[in-house]
Amino acid sequence: MTALLEIQDLQTHFQSDMGTVKAVDGVSYDVEAGETLAVVGESGCGKSVTALSVMRLIPSPPGRIVGGQVLYKGRDLLTLSNEEMRKIRGQEIGMIFQEPMTSLNPVLNIGKQLMEPLTQEMGMTKDQAHDRAVELLTSVEIPDPVRRLTQYPHHFSGGMRQRVMIAMALSGDPSVLIADEPTTALDVTVQAQILELMKQLTKQQGVALVIITHNLGVVARYADRVNVMYAGRVVERSSARSVYGTPRHPYTLGLMKSVPRLDHPPTDDLEQIDGQPPNLAALGAGCSFQERCNFALDKCAEERPELIEVTPAHYSACFVASELGNSPTNPIEVSTS
Amino acid sequence: MTSPSAEPASVSGQEILLDVRNLQMHFPVTSGLVFQRTVGMVKAVDGVSFSIAKGETLGLVGESGCGKTTLGQCILRFHKPTSGEIHYQGEDLTQASGRRLRELRKDIQMVFQDPYSSLNPRMTAGQIIGEPLTIHRLAKGKTEERIAEIMSLVGLSPAMASRYPHEFSGGQRQRIGIGRALAVDPTFLVCDEAVSALDVSIQAQIINLLKDLQRKLGLTYLFIAHDLAVVRHVADRIAVMYLGHIVEIAPRDPIYDEPLHPYTQALLSAVPVPDPEVELTRPHVIITGEVPSPLNPPSGCVFHPRCPIADERCSQVTPELREVRPGHWAACLKV
């Protein structure tokens, strides 16, 4: 169990009219070889910005990585030259985005787009690249790959485009594949196909898979470990079983209870998390969830809880973490005295 | 038993509010710039029948392109259906026009998916909620009071009436959208993916609001959504659509616990449950392929090319919806 990719205290800020938006505010997590790691959270929690920071794809200005380290096999990616970083993207860390339509170039055929990195970056000849491209399309189960290579993105359905994106991301034999909401734009039956395919290919090739998603079901089905993010920070981390079985952060607990369940009939109204996520340009000194938290203590407004190990391999950034989670369906009353 | 085309009445003994009979909505596909020829027909809705009882919520689920949105739009008469009937409180909406149609439209309102694009950015929240009152000439002289009343009803502070949409969060905007629909005191609400664009924690707030409003105001909902877990939470009965057809319709629990149609089974199996322990033991039936084009739908049963149990007969015979168990209808030859 070695950490292949280790993000340490990453901080990415954006300048806006309202001030400095701390989109990523001290995020640390690691990815181990061959595992499937999920990063889960709602819009604006910083899960995508963290991934883009790892790939050094933050548009600057307005964005800037202001602190932290991204260690890949021991090397800090944030200190590499642009040239060195280009070698990392694709050949060491591959990435898949949410929108398969906007991530492909509409005026180039699929073959050109697949073969370009093979010839440019990996020094293959045109024929070698063509054979490899056919092989890649076959591996993502696209029928009739030779003909498909000559076609353009608009000839492909949403699911097929996402298969092409997976083929592209895996073309450089990376050790880590980051998938940012890979199936959010797809229908459920196609979503299941794509996720199964990703899981199967990464397992086969020993690639570590990082799935960034807002979908708690996808996390439960596919992830080994989970990072829950809120307002630019990781608030809880453990194995999927442990996080779902005994959530140790009030936000995670609230999320679990606010999702309607497919597998049992509704009993009553959903429990809701009142209020809204905080303004990232005006974060206070305390815990960023405290305004919406049912368990908040006085000190939560003044002091920010660090992510600490509550039970073995289960981390939470909450002062009452050890009192939570003994009974996930019925949270115990926490005395606020 | 009823004849094949006369369909699933809702739970017996309840007053029927909406009764849709054999509805078809076909859109022509044209070619050529000047002399446009019709080169085909997109059969968005192709022979759909169902009814909704007063006070009930019917969930309408299916994947993109199955016709669920078009069906909702036909009920609101955004389109004039190609054929079929839509009886609303006994009156056929497809025949209504002019002033009568406007009156009927007051009674049937819609909540849209996108809380960003469905609100005019140049109008204040108060103006947006008040506009239907002006159009239908209601609450004359008392518009301000009515707006304040509606805003409190949907959980917004009336003091926010002078703010513009960009000053609200996604969840609050959806509350404005619901308020606009409720301003004219409708009986029936078509909610088209009304919570799909919202984050989980906000989604729960809006679902609870819709359920609460239904209890308070006795509303009837057609709840169109692709998220089967959300639908299980809000609907009393559920209809599953695939490529312009209803393939299964039943009360809530039977459809989730004992789905009959292979498509419903596949759809339910494809949705991951937020519980790793459950996911370990759940069967995962992954169907292959994607939804075919409604321009050229498959022969026989439209689901047969993707169906795990289809045989030769399925490509020739179109299955009718039939009552397999009391109140539980499915359109499959193998059931």
Give the Cα separation of B208 and B122 in Å (integer).
Answer: 29
From A256's Cα to the closest Cα of chain B, the distance in A is 8
Work out the pLDDT band at B13, boundaries 50, 70, 90. low
Q: Give, for A293, the enclosing helix (H) or strand (E).
A: none
Give the Cα separation of A274 and B56 in Å (integer).
Answer: 27
Work out the pLDDT band at B10, boundaries 50, 70, 90. very low
Q: Report the pLDDT averaged over residues B317-322.
A: 94
> Is residue B12 pLDDT above 80, yes or no?
no
The string of pLDDT tens digits covering residues A23-57 is: 999 999 999 998 999 999 988 899 999 999 999 99
In chain A, DSSP assigns E strands to 3-16, 19-32, 36-40, 63-72, 75-76, 93-96, 176-180, 208-213, 225-230, 233-239, 308-311, 314-316
> Is residue A183 pLDDT above 50, yes or no?
yes
Instruction: Name the residue facing A189 among B203, B272, B287 (closest C-beta).
Output: B287
The string of pLDDT tens digits covering residues A65-100 is: 999 999 999 899 999 999 999 989 989 999 998 877
Q: Phi/psi at A117 (nearest 5 deg)?
A: -65, -30
> Is residue A329 pLDDT above 90, yes or no?
no
pLDDT of residue A264: 82
> Is residue B66 pLDDT above 70, yes or no?
yes
The string of pLDDT tens digits covering residues A125-176 is: 999 999 999 999 999 999 899 999 999 999 888 889 999 999 999 998 999 9
Instruction: Name the residue facing B272 among A218, A260, A271 (closest C-beta).
Output: A218
From A267's Cα to the closest Cα of chain B, the distance in A is 9
pLDDT of residue A325: 60
Contact A259 B204 (CB under 8 A): yes
The string of pLDDT tens digits covering residues A273-305 is: 888 888 888 888 899 999 999 899 999 999 999
pLDDT of residue A337: 34
The string of pLDDT tens digits covering residues A126-140 is: 999 999 999 999 999
Instruction: Name the residue facing A265 among B253, B267, B276 (closest C-beta).
Output: B253
pLDDT of residue B40: 85
Q: How many CB pairs under 8 A join A and B?
A: 130
pLDDT of residue B39: 83
Residues of A in contact with B288 (CB under 8 A): 193
0.95 exceeded by pTM: no
| ipTM (interface predicted TM) | 0.82
pLDDT of residue B230: 93
The string of pLDDT tens digits covering residues B205-262 is: 999 999 999 999 999 999 999 999 999 999 999 999 999 999 999 999 999 999 999 9
Q: Phi/psi at B199 (nearest 5 deg)?
A: -70, 155
- Among chain A residues, CA nearest to B62: A187
Instruction: Name the residue facing B204 among A196, A221, A271 (closest C-beta).
Output: A271
Contact B232 A188 (CB under 8 A): no
Residues of A in contact with B227 (CB under 8 A): 260
Residues of B in contact with A270 (CB under 8 A): 204, 207-208, 233
Q: Are B121 and B130 in contact (CB under 8 A)?
A: no
- Among chain A residues, CA nearest to B228: A262
pLDDT of residue A90: 86
- Percentage of chain B with pLDDT > 90? 72
B16-330 folds as Rossmann fold (3.40.50)
Pick the residue of A48, A221, A228 with the most B CBs within 10 A to test the interface with B by mutation: A221
Q: Which of B170, B252, B161 is nearest to B205 (CA)?
A: B170
pLDDT of residue A266: 82
From A113's Cα to the closest Cα of chain B, the distance in A is 24
Instruction: Name the residue facing B204 among A43, A221, A258 (closest C-beta).
Output: A258
Q: Phi/psi at A20 (nearest 5 deg)?
A: -80, 120
pLDDT of residue A326: 57
In A113-246, DSSP assigns E strands to 176-180, 208-213, 225-230, 233-239
Contact A270 B229 (CB under 8 A): no
From B241's Cα to the closest Cα of chain A, the distance in A is 13
Q: Is B169 on the interface with A (CB under 8 A)?
A: yes
> Is residue B82 pLDDT above 80, yes or no?
yes
Give the Cα separation of A59 and A65 in Å (integer).
Answer: 10
Q: Report the pLDDT averaged over residues A207-230.
A: 95
Contact A262 B279 (CB under 8 A): no
| Residue B102 or residue B2, greater confidence | B102
From A294's Cα to the closest Cα of chain B, the distance in A is 14
pLDDT of residue B36: 80
The string of pLDDT tens digits covering residues B15-30 is: 899 999 999 999 988 8
Work out the pLDDT band at A3, boundaries 50, 70, 90. confident
pLDDT of residue A255: 92
| Locus of tokens 């450089």 | A172
> Is residue A59 pLDDT above 60, yes or no?
yes
Chain A contacts to B (CB-CB under 8 A): 42-43, 157-160, 187-193, 196, 214-222, 240-241, 244-245, 254-256, 258-263, 265-266, 269-274, 276
Q: Report the pLDDT averaged over residues A239-252.
A: 94
- Among chain A residues, CA nearest to B230: A260
> Is residue A4 pLDDT above 80, yes or no?
yes
Q: A171 to each of A118, A253, B68, B93, how far by Cα in Å? A: 8, 39, 39, 56
**HEC states along A115-147?**
HHHHHHCCCCCHHHHHHHHHHHHHHCCCCCHHH
Give the Cα separation of B241 and B226 in Å (integer).
Answer: 10
Q: Which amino acid is at A119?
A: T
Instruction: Name the residue facing A263 among B202, B212, B273 (closest C-beta).
Output: B273
pLDDT of residue A333: 42
- Among chain A residues, CA nearest to B210: A269
Instruction: Name the residue facing A241 among B199, B277, B286 (closest C-beta).
Output: B277
Domain definitions of chain B by residue range: 16-330
CATH of the structural domain A3-223, one choice from 3.40.50.300, 3.30.1330.40, 1.10.10.10, 3.40.50.620: 3.40.50.300
Q: Give, for A260, the enclosing helix (H) or strand (E).
A: none
Contact A262 B205 (CB under 8 A): no
> Is residue A327 pLDDT above 60, yes or no?
no
Residues of B in contact with A258 (CB under 8 A): 200-201, 203-204
pLDDT of residue B293: 84
Q: Report the pLDDT averaged over residues B258-285.
A: 91
- Percentage of chain B with pLDDT > 70? 96
From B273's Cα to the closest Cα of chain A, the distance in A is 5
Q: How high is the mean pLDDT of chain A?
A: 89
From B95's Cα to the closest Cα of chain A, the distance in A is 35
Q: Is B288 on the interface with A (CB under 8 A)?
A: yes
Residues of B in contact with A259 (CB under 8 A): 200, 204, 229, 274
> Is residue B6 pLDDT above 50, yes or no?
no
Q: Is B206 on the interface with A (CB under 8 A)?
A: no
Q: Report the pLDDT averaged over residues B309-331.
A: 94
pLDDT of residue A184: 84
Contact A256 B207 (CB under 8 A): no
> Is residue B50 pLDDT above 60, yes or no?
yes
Work out the pLDDT band at A334, boundaries 50, 70, 90. very low
Residues of B in contact with A18 (CB under 8 A): none
